[in-house]
Amino acid sequence: MSAVTGDSIGLFGQAIIQIGAGGSAGFVEVCIMHPMDLVKTRMQLQVKSSVKNSMYYTGVLDCMKKMYTHEGLSSFWKGIVPPIIAETPKRAVKFFTFEQYKKYFLWGASAPTPLTFALAGFCAGVTEAILVNPFEVVKVQLQSNRQRLKNTPSTFSVTRDIIRKNGLGLDGLNKGLTATAMRNGVFNSFYFGFYHSVKGYIPPNKDPWVEFFSKVGLGFVAGTTASCLNIPFDVAKSRIQGPQSDIKYKGTLRTMKIIYQREGFLALYKGLLPKVLRLGPGGAIMLVVYDYMHAFLSFHMIN
């Protein structure tokens, strides 16, 4: 990320910069990539034996075609309100705490190592998950609804219904917290660890376009690989937070065991393609927007 000197701006100034840059990065990434997140969730939630054949999704394109036919174009942005509301504080927490954890995991070294970045990323991801999990619960409930958008309940009514039935705890608005924490922790451990470690070996290029595409490439690889590493936890999270049928999903490892026993090993990777299609480009978008917004805000705060 673009460096900001504490002496010139201070901790409070850094926090403002990270809130602005992180919020911008999150907002842009969600608006562009949300349809892929929705397709991913739909594919992760379905169990073939419990879904009518006409509404069973055989792949990304099949899912998008059936959603468009039965629910309309606007359905691709179902459940977008919770992540948009959550993105500014979520990304602010993610990037700001990453910088703080990075200092902690230096362990007296003069410069951060790949292990420093990975541990800081993991802890930042867990911290982020605690903040964002209630929004994830509401989002998954909204995304699982197969009615046309005009017939689906509002974000507020879904939130109120969850709280009324199950409260704010681990059976209600914080259902699946452990799975979300593991999903985000594993993702951010590799995401930040890879991006910062490799970026440190690549000298800055004077050509702005070469520099831009270098960052895009690093962000894409980081987001894609991190998605492949954390998807079993993501599948478990979707099952726990989604509508419960004859199978009661509770507990991250227990849910993964049930999925494996009933549906096979590959079921733990359901939704991988739409997840990669979202978080590969999305990872690039987020890091690049954050980098440039961070530099822009830092320059204007200093000057």
The one-digit pLDDT tens for each residue of the chain (303 residues) are: 444 444 456 777 777 887 788 778 878 888 888 888 888 888 888 876 555 566 788 888 998 999 888 888 888 888 888 778 776 677 778 888 888 899 889 887 788 999 999 999 999 999 999 988 998 899 888 878 777 666 677 888 889 999 999 898 888 999 999 999 999 999 999 999 999 899 888 888 889 889 888 988 998 999 999 999 999 999 999 999 988 767 788 899 999 999 999 999 999 999 898 889 888 888 888 888 888 888 888 877 766
> Which residues lie below 8 Å from residue 286, measured CB to CB, with a gap of 6+?
25, 26, 28, 29, 91, 219, 223
pLDDT reported for residue 56: 82
Site of tokens 């939630």:
45
pLDDT reported for residue 43: 85
pLDDT reported for residue 53: 61
C-alpha 289/C-alpha 91 separation (Å) is 12
pLDDT reported for residue 36: 86
> The whole model's pTM is what?
0.79
Between 6-45 and 208-241, two packed helices, what is the crossing angle to 10 degrees? 50
